[in-house]
Amino acid sequence: MAIEETSTSSYRAPGAGHALRLAPMSFDPLNILTERVRHAIAGAFPSNAGADPMVTVSRNLKLGDFQCNAAMALAKAVSLPPREVATALVAKLNADETFLRLASPLAPGAIAGPGFINITLRPDALPAMLDALGMSNLGMPAPASGPIVVVDLCGVNLAKQMHVGHLRSTVIGDTLARILDRTGCRVIRQNHVGDWGLPIAMVTARLMDMDAAGKIDLQTLTLDGLDKAYKAAQRECDADEKGLAAATKWHMGPKVIAELEAHVDGASTKYEDAKRVLRQLQAREPSVMRVWQRISDVTMTQCLAIAARLNSIVTSEHSAGESSYAEELAPLVDQLIALGITEVSEGALVIRVDDAGISEPLIIRKSDGAFLYATTDMAAIRRRVQTFGASRVVYCVDARQGLHFKQVFAGAERAGFTKLPTGERATLEHAAFGTILGEDGRPFKTRTGESVKLSDLISNAEASAMDVLNAESPDIAPADRPAIARAVSIAALRYADLSTERIKDYVFSAQRMMSFKGNTGPYLLYAYVRMCSIFRKAGERNLLDPAGPQRGTAGFTLNIIEPAEKTLALAILRYPSAVNESARTLEPSRLCAYTYELATAFSQFFDACPVITADDEATRRSRLRLCELTRQVLHDALETLGIQTLERM
RNA sequence: GCGGGCGUAGCUCAAUUGGAUAGAGCACCUGACUACGGAUCAGGAGGUUAGGGGUUCGACUCCCUUCGCCCGUACCA
């Protein structure tokens, strides 16, 4: 299966093996039908045996369950009218026993329009497939059976509050990691913390000053306090740089110069302080490292707690800050020079990446001798591929850094850093995401124009969920409500962030997201809760096998009769391909769309087909079994999206 | 200037990557045996897919072009 280019920039060695290849599976009708059509093409048109079978889920479900579009493409190659090609394929399929066990025989009317072949499954073929899915880890491979994949996510900075900008990296990154994990990959999460360099030295210097002056207590320092100190330090040094630049131009009046000099004198001290602290930091001087470590601890404790609130798995063991690469940078640059791929340009050391179609070179050492973020990113690629053995490295980072990653990926390629110990080449992908906008269509800010703190965003969401819960669920004990409100609000928040295409900007509307109607996270939870409710009732009435697995339904015989049952069954069977597609394209939105379809199919089934009060025992048992399979898949899908399920809400 | 992205119903988003009559949700209108949980379901209305040209059996999708908005464009991260 070819791996199509997506909107991500990526480097992939030709012929590199890939783990996301779909094998034909006995529970996936799409795979089986694809194989049967492939077989039919080979039989009818041997010279075009390799043609794409082009079987998809039917666009219009009134016409059939699946459709085959191969005849039109094939027609040209064999120079026959498309409908004749379709007729030949239908004849082969109608003689194929495997096909006929799964699908109804194709009548002449099955060929429609220019040559579409509409395929309808036999309802009696579905139970065996559903049972197979239920018995085989829902169609997904065993954990940790696949390749090693690194997911770069979260990306916080020391001494800074997490704001909306970190939401997407933390939520999408975590979900991509979960999706890849579900496809069997051995996932290594990497939180590339901005914990090094001049900006960090600035705030460290300021805190050391304040500490010495007795103005702060490092032990009781909060992230809020750090955030303020960071901004203040930034302002002081920024003023310095601009002031110095201005002062060197002697075109101003004497009064202006005098003012500037007074300001620049003060600022200049700060700036020099910061540079001195940076050198001490790089030398790991204990007096400076003590303060730095404190900054790191305060920041990371807070940020990891926020990630946990978002239900994202990012812990200290996933943190790999820029500081962890600091000692590797000088030798790395020496290595690059030795490789002969660098050159000096305008005083800086650069790697040309014109061969990748980029005219701006990758700067790996500034003219003042300092390294910069590109240098660190090169070191990170080397570690991730050559030390960790990752065959795929996924960067869940803002789309605005697109050029940077193109340059770094091309540079890493030239340096040979993408070469695995096995000799294979790793794939580097920028899973870029768009900006969160306010309802005015501008980047999401508070009324005063500041960035919105992530902790406030979450708290507001929780409060809204609590309001709804208080209004709509009086039967839930007040003591249970806060936990439920938390889960519901995070479901709303995550689903809103995940359900649109990654690359696009999206409008953040708390009101819409928290209305909990329609295509939202809470709708999915609600569907799940209704399933749980059925099983509570069934249990009370002794309708289940209390000792049996799968909520006491494992021994019940499926019987797919009603249209709503069939739609639901087909939705269940699509789960593995939905996860695999989502992993291949690095698009959580695909899995969201699938999950919404599953929940919708269940809601329709719920409305049309009584379960507990079904007419007879066989029907009731079959529907209980169908509910249980739906529940399992929905649970798995929600968990893969990082959405915690609830029994009640 | 150059490079990249985006433009689909009043609003927010889809369209299985070139397939049939472009689909959902919100909002609006009409219904659903007092409900296996109504945070639901069924139905209605709503479109020149920014404009124009091209490629072919077939285009929201690919190519060219115009317009609009956003982002990036060497020593910040």
Q: In sequence order, what DSSP letters do the residues of A234-260 get, joined into one string? A: HHHHHHHHHHHHHHHS--S-HHHHHHH
Max CA separation in chain A (angstroms): 98
Mean of pLDDT values over A573-578: 94
% pLDDT > 90, chain A: 80
Structural domain contains residue A10: no
Residue A530: CB less than 7 A from any atom in strand B: yes
Q: How far apart are CA A136 and CA A576, in angstroms?
A: 11
Instruction: For residue A641, give the 3-state DSSP assignment.
Output: coil
Instruction: Tell if A507 CB is < 7 Å from nucleic strand B.
Output: yes
- Strand B close to A386 by CB, under 7 A: no
What CATH number does residue A107 fall under? 3.30.1360.70
- Residue A442 confidence (pLDDT): 85
Q: Are A581 and A22 in contact (CB under 8 A)?
A: no
Within 13 A of A600's CA, how many CA atoms are on the CB side?
12
Distance CA A168, CA A154 (A): 8
Average pLDDT, rounded, for chain A: 90
Edge-to-edge, what's the strand order for the sheet holding A186-190? A10-11, A427-430, A392-395, A148-152, A186-190
pLDDT at site A76: 87
Domain-embedded: residue A470: no
Domain assignment of residue A252, yes or no: yes
Indicate yes or no: strand B within 7 A of the C-beta of A516.
yes
User: Which nucleotide is nearest, taking the CA of residue A505 and each C1'?
Assistant: B6
- CB < 7 Å to strand B — which of 357-376 in chain A? 359-361, 363, 366-368, 370, 372-373, 376
Cα A552 from chain centre = 34
Q: Say whether A291 sits in a helix, a strand or coil.
A: helix
> What are the residue ranges of helices labelled H in A45-163?
70-78, 82-94, 97-102, 126-134
Q: What is the pLDDT of residue A25?
A: 56
Question: In sequence order, what are the residues at sequence separation of 6 or more whose Cβ sits closer than 8 angstroms to the Cβ of residue A419?
Answer: A385, A386, A425, A426
Place of tokens 């082009």: A54
Q: Return the exposure string of A155-164: e unless at least 16 CB atoms fall within 10 Å of the residue's CB, then b.
A: bbbbbbbbbb
Q: Determine whether the distance from the CB of A480 to the nearest atom of strand B is below 7 Å.
A: no
Strand B contact at CB of residue A505, distance < 7 A: yes
Whether the pLDDT of residue A407 is over 80: the answer is yes
pLDDT of A524 higher than 90: yes
The radius of gyration of chain A's CA atoms, rounded to the nearest angstrom, is 30
Which pLDDT band, with edges at 50, 70 and 90, does A21 fall under?
very low
Q: How far is the CA of A161 from the C1' of B33 (A)?
A: 56
- Residue A261 reports pLDDT greater than 60: no
Enter the tokens of residue A153: 């996510």
Top-confidence range, A51-60, A172-181, A244-253, A431-440:
A172-181
Q: Does the CB of A499 fall within 7 Å of any strand B atom?
A: yes
Dist. CA A605–CA A617, nearest whole Å: 18
Lowest pLDDT segment from A202-206, A230-234, A602-606: A230-234
Asked if strand B contacts A529 at the CB level, meaning under 7 A, the answer is yes
**Percent over 70 (pLDDT), chain A:** 91
Q: Is residue A382 part of a domain?
A: no
Give the nucleotide nearest to A398 (CA→C1'): B71
Q: Is the CB of A521 under 7 A from strand B?
A: no
Q: Within a domain: residue A243?
A: yes
Q: Which of A28, A9, A104, A110 is nearest to A63 (CA)?
A: A110
pLDDT band of residue A11 (cuts 50, 70, 90) is: very low
Where does the pLDDT of residue A61 fall: very low under 50, low under 70, confident under 90, or very high at 90 and above? confident
Residue A391 domain flag = no
One-letter amino acid for residue A540 of the chain: E
Task: Let me know the angle formed at the C-alpha of A388 by A382 and A392, rounded to the nearest 5 degrees.
Answer: 75
CB count within 10 Å of CB A421 equals 9
A66-68 and A116-119 strand pairing: antiparallel
**pLDDT over threshold 80, residue A238:** no
| pLDDT reported for residue A439 | 82
Residue A552 and residue A41: Cα distance in Å, rounded? 44
Beta strands A348-351; A342-345: pairing state = antiparallel
The residue whose CA lies nearest the C1' of nucleotide B32 is A607
Whether the CB-CB separation of A272 and A131 falls below 8 Å is answered with no
Is the pLDDT reported for residue A128 higher than 80? yes
Nearest residue to A236 via CA among A281, A280, A211, A205: A205
pLDDT at A59 over 80: yes
CA of A602 to C1' of B35 (A): 17
* pLDDT grade for A513, boundaries at 50, 70 and 90: confident
Note whether A270 and A237 are within 8 A (CB).
yes
Question: Please, which positions of strand B sit below 7 A from a protein CB?
Answer: 2, 4-7, 11-17, 19-21, 24-27, 36-42, 57-58, 70-77
With beta carbons less than 8 A apart as the criterion, state whether A150 and A428 touch.
no
Which nucleotide has the least CA–C1' distance to A485?
Answer: B39
A55 CA → B61 C1’, Å: 19
* Residue A207: C-alpha distances to residues A32, A231, A289 (Å): 65, 12, 12
Nucleotide nearest to A526 (CA to C1'): B39
Q: Which residue is nearest to nucleotide B19 (CA to C1')?
A: A69
Mean pLDDT throughout A247-271?
54
Please answer whether residues A558 and A127 qualify as being in contact, where contact means their C-beta atoms are separated by less than 8 angstroms.
yes
| Closest nucleotide relative to residue A350's CA, C1' based | B74
A110 CA – B31 C1', rounded, Å: 35
* Structural domain ending residue among the three candidates A283, A316, A334: A283
Rounded Cα distance, A153 and A304, in Å: 12
Quote the pLDDT of residue A62. Answer: 83
Residue with tokens 């053995």: A389
CA of residue A99 to C1' of nucleotide B26, angstroms? 43
User: What is the mean predicted confidence (pLDDT) over A233-247?
Assistant: 63
CB atoms near residue A63 (< 10 Å)? 16
pLDDT tens per residue, range A456-505 = 999 999 999 999 999 999 999 999 999 999 999 999 999 999 999 999 99
Determine which of A255-264, A300-309, A438-447, A456-465 has the lowest per-residue pLDDT on average: A255-264
**Nucleic strand B under 7 Å from the C-beta of A263:** no
Residue A18 lies in a domain: no
pLDDT of amino acid A315:
97
Query: How far is the C-alpha of A145 from the C-alpha of A103, rounded, in Å?
Result: 33
Look up tokens 């060695």; give the residue.
A13
Distance of CA A351 to the CA centre of its chain: 31
* Alpha carbon A513 to chain centroid, angstroms: 19
Nearest nt (C1') to A471 (CA)? Answer: B39
Q: Which of A283, A309, A331 is the last residue of a domain?
A: A283
CA–CA dist A302, A368 (Å, integer):
35
Predicted pLDDT at A239: 62
Strand B: which of residues 288-327 in chain A lie with Cβ below 7 A?
322
- Nearest residue for B2, CA–C1': A359
CB of A106 under 7 A from strand B? no
Task: Say how far A359 CA is from B2 C1', in Å.
Answer: 10
Contact A544, A624 (CB under 8 A): yes
Q: Provide, in whole angstroms, the distance separating residue A518's CA from nucleotide B47's C1'.
A: 22
Tell the residue number behind the tokens 């007096």, with chain if given: A287
**A13 CB-to-strand B distance under 7 Å:** no
Instruction: Please give the structure tokens belonging to residue A403.
Output: 């050029």
Q: Please tell me whether any atom of strand B lies within 7 Å of the Cβ of A485.
A: no
Instruction: Please give the average per-residue pLDDT across A231-235, as a whole number.
Output: 86
The answer on pLDDT for A356 being more than 60 is yes
Determine the distance between A414 (CA) and B3 (C1') in angstroms.
22
Last residue of a domain, one of A109, A125, A141: A125
Domain count, chain A: 2
Residue A326 gets which letter from DSSP? G
Give the CA-to-C1' distance from A305 to B69 in angstroms. 37
Distance A642 CA to B17 C1' (A): 27
Residue ranges making up the domain that contains A261: 198-283
Give yes or no for residue A26 having a pLDDT over 80: no
Q: Separation of CA A341 and C1' B44 in angstroms?
A: 67
Cα–Cα distance list, A503 to A36, A233, A236, A259, A589 (Å): 36, 34, 36, 47, 11
Tokens 């990082």 sit on residue: A642
For residue A450, name the pLDDT band (cuts at 50, 70, 90).
confident
Whether CB of A120 is under 7 Å from strand B: the answer is: no
Q: Is the CB of A107 under 7 A from strand B?
A: no
Residue A420 is assigned to a structural domain of this protein: no
* Predicted confidence (pLDDT) per residue in A73-99, tens digit: 999 889 899 999 999 999 999 999 999
Nucleotide of closest approach to A70 (CA, C1'): B19
pLDDT tens, position by position, A282-325: 999 999 999 999 999 999 999 999 999 999 999 999 999 999 99
